[in-house]
Amino acid sequence: MSLRIYTPGHGLFLDSLIMYGLASALNEGNFEYCVIGSAQAFELSVEGASASDVTNLIAYVVEKCKEDVVKLLADDLRLVQREVSNKLRAFLSEAATSDKVEKLLRTYFVPGHARDEGREARGKQHVWLPFYPHIGKYFTGEFKYKSKEYGVCPFCVALASLGFFKAALPIRYPPPGIASNVVILSFEGQVSGDVLNRMMSYVKSPEFVQEVLERRSLHRAARILPLTVFNWVLLAFFSAELLKALYEAAASWTALSATFDVVKGGVVQVRGYEEMSIDRYLSSLVRLIEADERRSRKANPLDRLRVLTERLLREGEEDPASLEALYRFLISRTPSDLYTASRQVVKRLGEGFGKDFCEELACLIQ
């Protein structure tokens, strides 16, 4: 018997965060689950679990993580203003109480929770920008709706903040500014709980945080690269095992990325937003990995791609054009884009490592 849980239907960014919040709780139990994503919402199907089981898992995980969630959002990234951090803490405390979660979770057992929320809702919490960047003034013209507060319930806020803590990839700009790129991987199709658990465990591991999220070159990349190119660069630092797991899932993956800036008075603003399919890019990286696995003498193409990226991001000599050309080829896999990438890399670095690696990439041309 499966227990089905549905995200509210607030839109891809917020629902993805809520889905990761729920999934992170399920990962603490011994239940097998899968998630089906669509354009409207996510459906989590949990085998052998009761509503009480899921309620207790959510309360347990929120209680364990709530102070770290507030610290990340309010103190480290400053994406939630400090004067409202107590409100966030109160929402999390409510979601850490089993009796209250049991009542709140019932509204997630049928699709359409969002019908009672949104821009016309009264008496709801105005959702904060890091959970729903589309509400920023930056987007009101592009998405053709009035600039009006979007109301959600405290339980949605609590789960979204937990999902942000567990699955979002924040890369801060170098000082002195207070800005950051935030990337979330979302999907349409079916993904197993095992894959989601592996991904969340990997991106929040101390090794990944220290080697990738805190890497100085990636902080510079966040500042100088377009969001699309930055996403490609960031994903190149995923492990071969995780890239293959994502690629082999029965789903189509999308990178959701936003640039947040904190200006005078601690006000958070959205400076950019992208939703980009990464399926073809994942297939290029996996094809490089598999080609290397067939060789008797390993060339470690992912490591070589990262080294070349680091050289093109060398402090004081950053070359966004070369990086963009290199990663564009990994999307298009056309001879003309490989030629352009090779010329740009040789022009920047000269003959040698960069040119040799570009020649290796010819195996991807279709």
Q: Determine the pLDDT at residue 300.
A: 83
d(CA 315, CA 209): 21
**Which of 277, 303, 328 is at the close of a domain?**
277
* Residue numbers of the domain that contains 336: 280-364
Q: Determine the pLDDT at residue 190.
A: 98
Q: How many separate domains does the chain show?
A: 2
Residues 9 and 43 in one domain: yes
Residues 290 and 156 in one domain: no
Residues 135 and 207 in one domain: yes
Q: Determine the pLDDT at residue 5.
A: 97
Residues 31 and 133 in one domain: yes
User: By CB neighbour count within 10 A (0-12 exposed, 13-18 middle, 19+ buried), where does 147 fall?
Assistant: exposed
In this structure, are residues 355 and 345 in contact, taking their beta carbons and an 8 Å threshold?
A: yes
Q: Determine the pLDDT at residue 140.
A: 44
Q: Determine the pLDDT at residue 184.
A: 97
Residues 26 and 150 in one domain: yes
**Which of 228, 259, 277 is at the close of a domain?**
277
**Residuewise pLDDT in 10s, the chain (366 residues):** 789 999 999 889 999 999 999 999 999 998 999 999 998 899 999 999 999 999 999 999 999 999 999 999 999 999 998 778 999 999 999 999 999 999 999 999 999 887 776 555 554 567 778 898 876 555 544 445 555 667 788 999 999 999 999 999 999 998 887 899 999 999 999 999 999 999 999 999 999 999 999 998 899 999 999 999 999 999 999 999 999 999 999 999 999 999 999 988 888 889 999 999 999 999 999 999 998 888 766 678 899 999 999 988 886 667 788 999 999 999 999 999 999 999 999 888 887 888 888 888 998 986
**Which of 277, 303, 318 is at the close of a domain?**
277
Q: Cα-Cα-Cα-Cα dihedral of 51, 52, 53, 59, to 10°?
A: 110
Q: Determine the pLDDT at residue 347.
A: 86
Closest CA to 218 of 177, 285, 176, 169: 169
